Amino acid sequence: MTAAPTRPQGVFSPVLTPFNADSTPDADRFIRHCRWLLEQEVGLAVFGTNSEANSMSVAEKRRLLEALLQAGIPASRLMPGTGCCALSDSIELTKMAVQAGVGGVLMLPPFYYKGVSDEGLYRAFASVIDAVADERLRVYLYHIPPVSNVAITRGLVERLLKAYPKAIAGMKDSSGDWNNTKAMIEAFGPQGFEVYAGSESFLLANLRAGGPGCITATANVNPTKIVQLYKTWRNADAEAQQKALDVTRAAFAQFPMIPAMKAAIAWKTGRQDWLHVRPPLVDLDAQQQQALQAALDQVGFTMPNAGMLA
């Protein structure tokens, strides 16, 4: 057993999953995208919402994780999403990730049933932690009510932290509500609980409030400038940097985000297979691709070293 990992910090990307025309995951492009992100100093929150992780089976995720490890991607830079609807699936993926030595896991609550109690969610997280039974486990709770429709409340965090002060390491707040992020940092930051912003729109605010950084979709396509703000947030130009990040994000957000980010990579690398998404998502059509390219040109969007991905 290796030692517990040091806590991750900085900018993470819910890594986009490249698919082939037949909808199978493309491990080769996945590895190359991860290498490119690491070169930009972005951590790898593989199997997140923007990774279409819930559109893949546990077996497909296992194979992709194994492919990354075999390709020499450092496990310490990985924060895989391992929270599924099925308790047994969450346990299997979390065990695998921890045994691989990942920096942490990002855990959705079970999201099929709505209106579930904090008691039920507590039991769900506790059951996974107890079943994994590994000192190295670091859980980041994934609060994304606009998608999961199942919230992680302050009361739930408090109870989990009390029962599992070592395993419960932090959260990703994708509520889009900065006041919630701030309240979580204030309430639990002093205990070492790391509250990541769920978007770079709140990166500067997060760092100023004492947060660790952000886990954000757009780091898949705009990593350099997001990381630059992370590194220089005390500089005088920090607010100007934040504004520039917001402008680029807004250009993507005119379109469905996941297909749009994939279309941007297809465009910048010339690899049309990057366009593929799994149903129920729909890839951008030719007209949308042109509109996206125009919007991105207008904000001066670039992808440095995109050749690594081609």
Tell me which H or E stretch contains 107: strand 105-107
Cβ atoms of residues 36 and 29 within 8 Å = no
Residue from 20, 23, 191, 305 in contact with a copy of itself (CB under 8 A): 23
Residue 294 touches a copy of itself, criterion: CB under 8 A: no
Report the alpha-carbon distance of residue 43 to residue 100 in Å, rounded: 16
Q: How far is the CB of 89 from a copy of itself (least distance, A)?
A: 5
Q: How far is the CB of 94 from a copy of itself (least distance, A)?
A: 13
Residue 66 touches a copy of itself, criterion: CB under 8 A: no
Residue 113 touches a copy of itself, criterion: CB under 8 A: yes
Residue 282 touches a copy of itself, criterion: CB under 8 A: yes
User: Which of 201, 261, 267, 208 lies closest to 233, judged by CA?
Assistant: 208
Residue from 69, 151, 183, 281 in contact with a copy of itself (CB under 8 A): 281
Report the alpha-carbon distance of residue 15 to residue 53 in Å, rounded: 10
Residue 89 touches a copy of itself, criterion: CB under 8 A: yes
Q: How far is the CB of 60 from a copy of itself (least distance, A)?
A: 6
Residue 254 touches a copy of itself, criterion: CB under 8 A: no
DSSP-assigned letter for residue 22: T
Residue 106 touches a copy of itself, criterion: CB under 8 A: no
Angle between helix 238-253 and helix 286-298 axes, rounded to 10 deg: 170
Q: How far is the CB of 51 from a copy of itself (least distance, A)?
A: 11
Q: Cβ-count burial of 163 within 10 angstroms (0-12 exposed, 13-18 middle, 19+ buried)? A: middle
Cβ atoms of residues 225 and 237 within 8 Å = no
Residue 109 touches a copy of itself, criterion: CB under 8 A: yes
CA distances from 44 to 9, 31, 50 (A): 11, 11, 12
Report the alpha-carbon distance of residue 40 to residue 46 in Å, rounded: 16
Q: How many residues bind a copy of itself (CB under 8 A)?
A: 39
Cβ atoms of residues 120 and 61 within 8 Å = no
Residue from 123, 154, 166, 271 in contact with a copy of itself (CB under 8 A): 123
By CB under 8 A, the residues from 198 to 227 that bind a copy of itself are none
Which residues would be at the binding site for a copy of itself (CB under 8 A)? 23, 49, 54-60, 85-89, 92, 109-114, 116-117, 119-121, 123-124, 127, 146-150, 278-282
